[in-house]
Chains A and B, each alone.
Chain A
Amino acid sequence: MLSRVANRIYWMARYLERAENTARLINVNTHLLLDLPKKVRLGWEPIVDITSHRDYFYNLYEEADERNVIRFMVSDMRNHGSILNSLHMARENTRTIRDIIPREVWEQVNTLHLTTKTNAKSVITQRHRYDYLRSVILGVQTISGMLAGTMTHNEGYDFLRMGRNLERADMTTRIIDVRSATLLPDMPEDLTPFENLQWVSVLKSLTAYQMYRREIRQRIRRADVLKFLLQEERFPRSFYHALCQVSTCLNNLPRNEKTLQMLTKLQTKLLQTKLQEFDQQKLHVFIDGLQLGVIRINNSISENYF
């Protein structure tokens, strides 16, 4: 497989995953804000923080209100991470490897980009937002399904899965980091029920709520949520699961020793950590470490194969 092609497949998968994650994030935030009391001004700024674009955002917009943040995150082509830009980049990457991936996948990527672009206005109004974001999520899921069902599971597919899982791992840590930090600041007594609500939203942002409930049959607790999202092996959006997927893929590829070593080290460190002992500050530092690990693995793959 050509190095350039491997590179493009990898990024196609990353961008698609990014579009889907962003759509989920906005969806959940919309619902969360409806449930929180009016005096808690959680607002939309955390969404910008999750993608680490705060400075850039305030260059373009004055206020982080709903309308601006949603525009920034969904359709603003100046934002590299916006849904539309992610789909655009996914399409550009797919376009250059049309000869590698199944044709119907290209058709679906093309259609998804086109319809998302055409309907971009409808996301501003809350009434149409859900359908719009849902169509993005479903669109990406359809592509994943088609790829799983029609693409030969060769090296190309390994690069695809690595791209998807590293992007997912990255997003999982970002959501946990920002969402746990901006939790109701001083936590006055009467807001405790809402803390629960916020952890539910963390789970929901990662589509983990239902699975969490089945797995851990207790009331939602911070320590359990963290453990589930970071260390659970069998839940597909957990950080550890993503690393295991990358590891499986790497095992199929040539010249994998260095990257595998790096990955194993990160996995070991993750599993040995006792998350329930962490306060907010420690958690933040720990998550920083995980994100750095993901970046190192990404760089190692790039240097080695692309």
Chain B
Amino acid sequence: MAIRWGSYKVKNLYDELLRATGRPRPAAQVLCSYLRALKDTEIEEYKVAAESAIHVMGISFTVYTEEEGSIDRVWPFDIIPRIIDKREWLQVEAGLKQRVQALNLFINDLYHQQRIVKDGIFPAELLEDSKNFRPECVGVNPPYGIWAHICGSDLVRDKDGTFYVLEDNLRVPSGVSYMLENRQVMKRLFSEMFEQYNILPVDDYASQLYDTLAALSPRPGDQPEIVVLTPGIYNSAYFEHAYLAQQMGAELVEGSDLTVDKNNVVHMRTIEGLTRVDVIYRRVDDLFLDPEAFSPDSLLGVPGLMRAWKSGKVALANAPGAGVADDKVVYAFVPEIIKYYLDQDPILPNVPTYKCIDKQERQHVIEHIHEMVVKPANESGGYGMLIGPQASKEEREKFVRLIRRDPRNYVAQPMLTLSTAPTLIGNRVEPRHLDLRPFILSGEQISVTTGGLTRVALRKGSTVVNSSQGGGSKDTWIVDMEAT
């Protein structure tokens, strides 16, 4: 017997499958006994089967390095799933819907009357300095007043098991295809488990995404022409772009496939000539979207796209400028934003966040920097952050200087103890830290993926889960323990 739960210790933190006593949580009981009964050779077989499935399915992400150019790497996958009880999940889901609804109201307000600024809730100077506020978008009315149609929010659990929102990704969040593919791999490998558990399916994401996008079409009634706009095969998420286009039956286009005519209508170049495009699910960042409006040397974009969008001849998802709410400083205000627009208390808590722009809070951060995680406002992918307790003295001092120089650009959070889950390392199980990224679709209605993408930090003790920095992923099972 290879997996001995007896030697798996849960100390001072929350483990997704096991309690502190070492006994499995109710929802994990069946899985844990199943795993315990596996022989070493069987575990090895599962691992090999998973790896070859991933290889053959071509699940990969792209890493770009100066020396080697672009490389397609296989996305590391751990075969032990993470399990969440459906009852708990429903709470999380309600919290996410509430949060995204408020964020969309916030973005729409910022590009119109700016009531929240006038009412003194959100500081005007933050808006003025925001790198992601796009003056070009002021006064634009996207359908339903929705700007962030697709949102990926990162959740973590602290010691006591409470879920916190760590950040919201409102620009071009990625990862959903890995969530879908992980499930495909698990169904191939552990079909017995799927018979024994009531695992809620994740498959309908693509059709929900399609419906969300189709509802944005400026030509209602007709079958809309939807396209996915990708920066191309060297983008790290290219796999996902192709995958989603395929699943929706939409064209996967690059900037050079599209053209905007004098009447602000967008067309794509086809073998028949030009065909009108109604909705663009764009996976290209704002500043590269349109060389006429933004970065003039962008080769990824489509000249004239912004004027087409502003005149309502084409829908863009997410809308340009949605990233204004995806800033780590704005994040600190989300509880107030929810209260302001919805008059509700947040269902899902934020991680307590110190805003360095506030003098007192800044002082607190600087004094306690060895306990803090410091994040720049506009970086993603885990770059440019300081993890206080693990950093050297020099690194901490460097960050103190950075914060003093540009306080608006930094927020800090106390170091959480992220939850762990058993992960196969060699052929033993060891605890590894993880997070969860559910995806929220907003259109006529709001829907949330069942679970989301669980990312796991494969290095011992590490809490960095990003695929570019040694992260992997697990399948996430939302199980209904009441159904029989």
Q: Does B254 contact A (CB under 8 A)?
A: yes
Q: Is the CB of A110 within 8 A of B271?
A: no
Binds A, one of B55-63, B112-120, B309-317: B55-63
Q: Is the CB of A253 within 8 A of B246?
A: no
Q: Does B272 contact A (CB under 8 A)?
A: yes
Q: Does B265 contact A (CB under 8 A)?
A: no
Binary contact track B241-268/A, C-beta < 8 Å → 1, others 0: 0110110001111101100000000001
> How far apart are A106's CB and chain B's nearest CB, in angstroms?
6
Q: Which of B57, B58, B242, B257 contacts A4 (CB 8 A)?
A: B257
Q: Which of A99, A110, A254 contacts B242 (CB 8 A)?
A: A99
Q: Does B270 contact A (CB under 8 A)?
A: yes
Q: Is the CB of B56 within 8 A of A110?
A: yes
Question: Please, which residues of chain B bring their CB within 8 A of the CB of A192?
Answer: none
> How far apart are A122's CB and chain B's nearest CB, in angstroms?
20
Binary contact track B311-347/A, C-beta < 8 Å → 1, others 0: 0000000000000000000000000000000000000
Across the interface, name the chain A residue whose C-beta is closest to B72. Answer: A95
Chain B residues packing against A (C-beta within 8 Å): 55-58, 228, 232-233, 242-243, 245-246, 250-254, 256-257, 268-273
Q: Does A134 contact B (CB under 8 A)?
A: no
Q: Is the CB of B254 within 8 A of A111?
A: no
Across the interface, name the chain B residue whose C-beta is closest to A114. Answer: B55
Q: Is the CB of A2 within 8 A of B253?
A: yes
Q: CA of A103 to CA of B252 in the docked complex: distance in angstroms?
A: 15
Across the interface, name the chain B residue whose C-beta is closest to A108. Answer: B56
Which chain A residues numbered 93 to 130 have a C-beta less than 8 Å away from chain B? 95-100, 103, 106-107, 110-111, 114
Q: CA of A35 to CA of B233 in the docked complex: distance in angstroms?
A: 48
Q: Is the CB of B233 within 8 A of A254?
A: no
Q: CA of A143 to CA of B243 in the docked complex: distance in angstroms?
A: 20
Q: Is the CB of A1 within 8 A of B271?
A: yes
Q: Given contacts A98-B246, A99-B252, is CB(A2)–CB(B270) below 8 Å?
A: yes
Q: Does A155 contact B (CB under 8 A)?
A: yes
Q: Is the CB of A95 within 8 A of B271?
A: no
Count, chain A residues at interface, CB 8 A = 24
Q: Is the CB of A305 within 8 A of B246?
A: no
Known: A97-B252, A98-B246, A255-B273. 18 other contacts (CB 8 A): A1-B272, A2-B253, A2-B268, A2-B270, A2-B271, A4-B253, A4-B257, A4-B269, A95-B233, A95-B242, A98-B58, A99-B228, A99-B252, A107-B57, A114-B55, A155-B271, A253-B271, A254-B272
Question: Please, which residues of chain A bring their CB within 8 A of the CB of B254?
Answer: 4
Q: Is the CB of A3 within 8 A of B56?
A: no
Q: CA of A15 to CA of B92 in the docked complex: distance in angstroms?
A: 50
Q: Given contacts A3-B257, A4-B254, is CB(A99)–CB(B246) below 8 Å?
A: yes
Q: Does A89 contact B (CB under 8 A)?
A: no
Q: Given contacts A98-B243, A99-B242, is CB(A107)–CB(B270) below 8 Å?
A: no
Q: CA of A1 to CA of B269 in the docked complex: distance in angstroms?
A: 8
> How far apart are B256's CB and chain A's nearest CB, in angstroms?
7
Q: Is the CB of B245 within 8 A of A99?
A: yes
Query: Which of B242, B250, B271 is the most central at the interface, judged by chain A CB atoms within 10 Å of its CB?
Result: B271
Q: Is the CB of B58 within 8 A of A254?
A: no
Across the interface, name the chain B residue whose C-beta is closest to A6. Answer: B271
Q: CA of A6 to CA of B268 in the docked complex: distance in angstroms?
A: 13
Question: Please, which residues of chain A bring their CB within 8 A of the CB of B272?
Answer: 1, 254-255
Q: CA of A92 to CA of B246 in the docked complex: distance in angstroms?
A: 17
Q: Given contacts A254-B271, A305-B271, is CB(A110)–CB(B58) below 8 Å?
A: yes
11 contacts across the A-B interface (CB closer than 8 A): A2-B268, A2-B271, A4-B253, A92-B233, A95-B58, A98-B242, A99-B228, A99-B246, A107-B57, A254-B272, A254-B273
Which chain A residues numbered 254 to 284 have a C-beta less than 8 Å away from chain B? 254-255
Q: Is the CB of B58 within 8 A of A3?
A: no
Q: Which of A6, A111, A155 contacts B56 (CB 8 A)?
A: A111
Across the interface, name the chain B residue whose C-beta is closest to A106. Answer: B58
Q: Given contacts A2-B269, A2-B270, A3-B269, is CB(A96)–CB(B233) below 8 Å?
A: yes
> How far apart are B229's CB and chain A's nearest CB, in angstroms?
12
Q: Which 3 A-B pairs have the closest CB atoms?
A: A99-B246, A99-B245, A98-B242
Across the interface, name the chain B residue whose C-beta is closest to A158. Answer: B271
Q: CA of A155 to CA of B270 in the docked complex: distance in angstroms?
A: 11
Question: Please, which residues of chain B bring their CB within 8 A of the CB of A110?
Answer: 55-56, 58
Q: Is the CB of A107 within 8 A of B268?
A: no
Across the interface, name the chain B residue whose C-beta is closest to A111. Answer: B56
Across the interface, name the chain A residue whose C-beta is closest to B253. Answer: A2
Across the interface, name the chain A residue whose C-beta is closest to B244. Answer: A99
Q: Is the CB of A2 within 8 A of B257?
A: yes
